[in-house]
Structure 1
Amino acid sequence: MPSRDFDPSAEEEKPPPRRTQAEKWAINYAAAREFYEREGHPRVPRKHIERIVVGDDRAEREFRLGAWVGNQRSRAAALTPERVELLSAIGMRWSWWGPSPQPLHLGVCARLTWPFVNTVSASSSPPDSKN
């Protein structure tokens, strides 16, 4: 049988260590902050790709920022207060009708009135109007 001499990889040949979830969140937040500083708002289109310089090698990388922002919005109730505060500081809108990160339930929608949502009547006029 042939000898299986094996020479361990040199440091420069080894792949970089994987990023933790906290590091990934911080990088995406940095991309969101750059977008906010450049555009003046955090309304990122869902398919938007943000390019930022990261890492020790200072390489430009692409991040699916639109998807990330949408995911943060949909998971608002599970975010830490610190993350909610960071995102709020760059103008994150947690829903279309308010800045609150609490999830909205059907009971809230049922109380809204025309012209927003009227779950009691499908009429095109306000519920209290006299036709």
Structure 2
Amino acid sequence: MQREGAHQPVPRAHGEEITIKGQTEPVTVKPGVWVSNTKSRRDKLTPDQLASLAKLGVDWA
């Protein structure tokens, strides 16, 4: 969020390479998939999960 801004749309196919502590090879994560899945399943989220997303600036509920 710091690099792109909190309200920047993330394409589903976009991948980011990150290095996990203790690992030697980078891993590709797809934040757009997470956003899409979370939005499509928001009716199944608990109030605590929705509150956590709200703290991150996610306002879909």
What is the TM-score normalised by the length of structure 1? 0.39
CA–CA distance in 2 between the matches of 1:79 and 1:58? 34
SS at match of 1:37: coil
Classify 1:77/1:93 alpha carbon distance in 2 versus 1 (closer, same or farther; 3 Å).
Answer: same
5+ long unaligned stretches in structure 2: none
Q: Which amino acid aligns with 2:6?
A: H
| Residue 2 (structure 2) pairs with residue 37 (structure 1) | yes
Task: Give the paired residue count.
Answer: 60
Give the superposed CA RMSD. 2.1
How far does residue 88 in structure 1 lie from its aligned partner after superposition? 1.9
2:18 matched residue in structure 1: 52
Q: 1:63 aligns with which of 14, 29, 39?
A: 29
Classify 1:53/1:80 alpha carbon distance in 2 versus 1 (closer, same or farther; 3 Å): farther
- The 2-side partners of 1:47 and 1:93 are apart by 22
State the secondary structure of the residue aligned to 2:14.
coil
In the superposition, relative to structure 1, how do residues 58 and 79 fare at CA in structure 2: closer, same or farther (>3 Å)?
farther
Which of these two proteins has the greater Rg computed from alpha carbons? 1
The aligned counterpart of 1:82 is: 48
Q: Which runs of 5+ in 1 are unaligned?
A: 1-35, 95-100, 102-131
Using structure 2 for the length normalisation, give the TM-score. Answer: 0.69
